[in-house]
Amino acid sequence: MNRKAAFIFLFIISLLNNLILSGQKQKPKNESWYDEKLIHFGFSLGFNTMDFNITPSQKYYQQDSLTPKVSILNPGINIQIVTDFRPADYLDIRFLPGVSFGQRVIRFYKNKVLVNEQQKLESSFLEFPLLLKFKGDRLNNVRPYVIGGLNFRYDLAGKKEFDDSKPIYIRIKRPDLYYEFGAGMDFYLTYFKLSVEIKMSQGIGNVLVEEAAPGHPQYFNAIEKLKSQIWVLAFHFE
153-179 confidence digits (pLDDT tens) = 999 998 878 877 778 889 999 999 999
Q: How many domains does the chain have?
A: 1
Whether the pLDDT of residue 50 is over 90: the answer is yes
pLDDT at 201: 97
Whether the pLDDT of residue 78 is over 70: the answer is yes
pLDDT at 64: 55
Q: Per the domain annotation, does 30 fall within a domain?
A: no
Whether the pLDDT of residue 71 is over 70: the answer is yes
With a pLDDT cut of 90, the percent of the chain lying above it is 56
Secondary structure (3-state) at 107 = strand
Asked if residues 103 and 119 have their Cβ atoms less than 8 Å apart, the reply is: no
Q: Per the domain annotation, does 29 fall within a domain?
A: no
pTM here is 0.83
- As a whole number of angstroms, the distance between CA 215 and CA 167 comes to 11
Whether the pLDDT of residue 27 is over 90: the answer is no
As a three-state string, the secondary structure of 12-29 is HHHHHHHHHHHCCCCCCC
- As a whole number of angstroms, the distance between CA 45 and CA 216 comes to 39
Over range 119-131, report the average pLDDT: 95
* 95 strand-pairing partners: 83, 130
Q: Per the domain annotation, does 33 fall within a domain?
A: no
Q: Tell me, what CATH number does 221's domain have?
A: 2.40.160.20
Q: What is the pLDDT of residues 185-198, one digit of tens each?
A: 999 998 899 999 99
Q: Per the domain annotation, does 171 fall within a domain?
A: yes
Q: Per the domain annotation, does 34 fall within a domain?
A: no
Q: Per the domain annotation, does 49 fall within a domain?
A: yes
Domain assignment of residue 177, given as a range: 3-24+42-237
Phi, psi dihedral angles at 15 (to 5 degrees): -65, -45
Q: Per the domain annotation, does 35 fall within a domain?
A: no
Whether the pLDDT of residue 63 is over 80: the answer is no
Q: What is the pLDDT of residues 86-106, one digit of tens each?
A: 999 999 999 999 999 999 999
Q: Per the domain annotation, does 225 fall within a domain?
A: yes
